[in-house]
């Protein structure tokens, strides 16, 4: 069972539908007890970094997520802003993040990109083909909507990059913690494959 964290933000039904399509079971959960019972966790996110962190804090979900991710070592996948919140901080409003990965969230360099936000299908290049990268040896295209991206202090945590004006990290892993900058729930067959990979880890 996968718990899709409900803190009032994200494409929850779309995520649940695509997990069902690839043969998985999921529950949309805001109750810490249900999150504790799940085998895996998905942390969605849409909108601004600060608002999402505020909602997650107000719902009092950070303690249970910390315990399940670090205490019980459950695998968790952050989507878009859900993944950004796993970094230490964001330039978007100067908000602090969860600090789960050694990175920060920065705004695209507007002098180097054609327009913001980056809102289009974009090729993703995986650095290795284990874990989330299985089956993407020929590449994959995912749907992005964002003006900020990850900046990692340690390149070894970066699993894949994409290009928008310049290369940027778009998939990461730190042990049982995974994050993607794009929206796999809106990325059709490529998104389905990524969710299949997450469920089979």
Catalytic annotation present for 80 = yes
Whole-structure pTM over 0.95, yes or no?
A: yes
Catalytic annotation present for 170 = no
Please count the other Cβ atoms lying within 10 Å of the Cβ belonging to residue 98. Answer: 19
Torsion of CA 130, 22, 176, 129, to 10 degrees: 10
Q: What integer pLDDT is reported at residue 128 of this predicted model?
A: 85
Of the residues 80, 149, 170, 196, only one is catalytic, namely: 80
- Give the three-class secondary structure for 153: coil
Low-confidence ranges of the chain (pLDDT < 50): none
Q: What integer pLDDT is reported at residue 57 of this predicted model?
A: 95
Of the residues 118, 146, 149, 183, only one is catalytic, namely: 183
CB 144 within 8 A of CB 118: yes
Of the residues 52, 149, 170, 185, only one is catalytic, namely: 185
CB 68 within 8 A of CB 74: yes
Distance CA 19, CA 31 (A): 20
Q: How many CA atoms are closer than 13 Å to the CA of 40, on its beta-carbon side?
A: 21
Catalytic annotation present for 120 = no
Q: What is the pLDDT of residues 38-70, one digit of tens each?
A: 999 999 999 999 999 999 999 999 999 999 999
Q: What integer pLDDT is reported at residue 130 of this predicted model?
A: 87
Q: What integer pLDDT is reported at residue 11 of this predicted model?
A: 87
Distance CA 200, CA 40 (A): 11
Q: What integer pLDDT is reported at residue 94 of this predicted model?
A: 80
């Amino acid at each position: 069972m996968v718990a899709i964290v409900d803190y009032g933000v994200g494409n929850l039904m779309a995520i649940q539908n695509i997990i069902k399509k690839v043969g998985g079971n999921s529950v949309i959960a805001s109750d810490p007890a249900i999150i504790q019972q799940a085998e895996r966790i998905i942390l969605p996110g849409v909108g601004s970094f600060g608002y999402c962190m505020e909602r997650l804090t107000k719902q009092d979900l950070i303690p249970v997520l910390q315990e399940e991710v670090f205490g019980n070592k459950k695998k968790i996948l952050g989507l878009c802003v859900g993944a950004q919140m796993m970094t230490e901080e964001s330039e978007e409003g100067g908000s602090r993040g969860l600090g789960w990965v050694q990175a920060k969230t920065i705004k695209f360099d507007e002098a180097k990109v054609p327009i913001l936000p980056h809102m289009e299908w974009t090729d993703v290049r995986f650095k290795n083909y284990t874990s989330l990268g299985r089956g993407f040896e020929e590449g994959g295209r995912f749907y992005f909507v964002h003006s900020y991206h990850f900046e990692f202090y340690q390149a070894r945590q970066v699993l894949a990059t994409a290009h928008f004006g310049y290369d940027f990290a778009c998939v990461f892993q730190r042990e049982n913690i995974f994050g993607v900058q794009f929206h796999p729930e809106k990325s059709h067959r490529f998104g389905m494959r990524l969710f299949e990979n997450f469920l089979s880890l």
